[in-house]
Amino acid sequence: MDEVKWTGGVEHWTRKGDVKLFLWQKKAAPNVPRAGTLFFVHGSSMASQPTFDLQVPGRPYSSAMDWFSDQGFDTWTMDNEGYGRSDKSRDINFDISNGADDLAAGSQYVLQHTGADRLLMYGISSGALKAALFTQRHPERVARLALDAFVWTGEGSPTLEQRRKKLPDFLAKNRRAIDRAFVHSIFQRDHPGTADQATVNAFADAILSLDDSMPTGTYVDMCSKLPLVDPRKITVPSIILRGEHDGIASLDDLIAFFKLLPNMDKQFSVMAGISHASFQQKNYMTVYRILHAFFTLPEPAYKG
């Protein structure tokens, strides 16, 4: 495997009590209008930089951070505790609530460091659950919230139905081994063909350069403890993104969640030709454009 390097960014560190957390920033490009401070939240089986700052030769803007920084966003991401460069020393399974605690520490650092009033926040898969739970706890820190590959109750989810068969194994230990075959399975389980091989290979290289195992906590939560979020307590403008072929949540489950969101500045978007891990799909630019449109919406002039 070729060495994986992340360039053009600035690394930061903060603490959650005694826990050391890694953050990665790519600043807004100069000479473009400033669009806000954007915070990306990773999922269960990969750290932040492979997900949001991936470089694939011949695939322009494989790095979402690069694309959004060129549109004027100050972009940030972080490794949750138990992942990537962040502390992995505690004998726990690093569940979704713990991840939301990480976001509380990370967001406080970013807001203080940048002077921003609030963050634009994007989370994917279990990262969407963490972002939603964090926003439920700290709505004053979030300007707009994007939830991709989100799941509410888990009802009607083919992916979780299969994953529950391994729940005893996940409960028995705090970490699960991953390898190249596992990363490839993410793109094969729902609808093969939605991602190209070069991107999947680069994604696997990047993930495995940082981790050979992942925490079990988010899997345990998603298999046995849903729902973890109350939509009625998410009061900020929100968008739900669902890949056409994604098996993590049914449309009915997501629409029921969407209906209960109290802020009428909300959107629901089905992304054609996309399964899970939307930024690594062939149609990734569709995702960027949807998010850009949502994150740059002006405040409503009339609210009634």
Residue-by-residue pLDDT tens, the chain, 304 positions: 456 889 999 999 999 999 999 999 999 999 999 999 999 999 999 999 999 999 999 999 999 999 999 999 999 999 999 999 999 999 999 999 999 999 999 999 999 999 999 999 999 999 999 999 999 999 999 999 999 999 999 999 999 999 999 999 999 999 999 999 999 999 999 999 999 999 999 999 999 999 999 999 999 999 999 999 999 999 999 999 999 999 999 999 999 999 999 999 999 999 999 999 999 999 999 999 999 999 999 988 998 8
Distance CA(179)–CA(183), nearest Å, equals 7
In a domain, 3, yes or no: no
| CA angle, residues 39, 44, 45, in degrees to nearest 5 | 110
Beta-carbon contacts of 213 under 8 Å, excluding residues fewer than 6 positions away, are: 175, 176, 177, 178
In a domain, 29, yes or no: yes
In a domain, 1, yes or no: no
In a domain, 301, yes or no: no
- Specify the pTM: 0.98
Distance CA(134)–CA(87), nearest Å, equals 20
Please provide the distance, in angstroms rounded to a whole number, between the alpha carbons at the two ends of the chain: 58
In a domain, 271, yes or no: yes
In a domain, 210, yes or no: yes
In a domain, 303, yes or no: no
Instruction: List the CATH number of the domain containing 99.
Output: 3.40.50.1820
3-state secondary structure of 146: strand
Name all contacts of 91-95 with Cβ < 8 Å and 24+ positions apart. 91/174, 92/174, 92/217, 93/174, 93/175, 93/215, 93/216, 93/217, 93/220, 94/174, 94/215, 94/217, 94/218, 95/215, 95/217, 95/218, 95/220, 95/221
DSSP state of 197: H
Domain count, the chain: 1
State which residues form the domain around 91: 10-295
Distance CA(77)–CA(69), nearest Å, equals 12
Of 64, 149, 76, 156, give the one whose Cα is nearest residue 112.
76
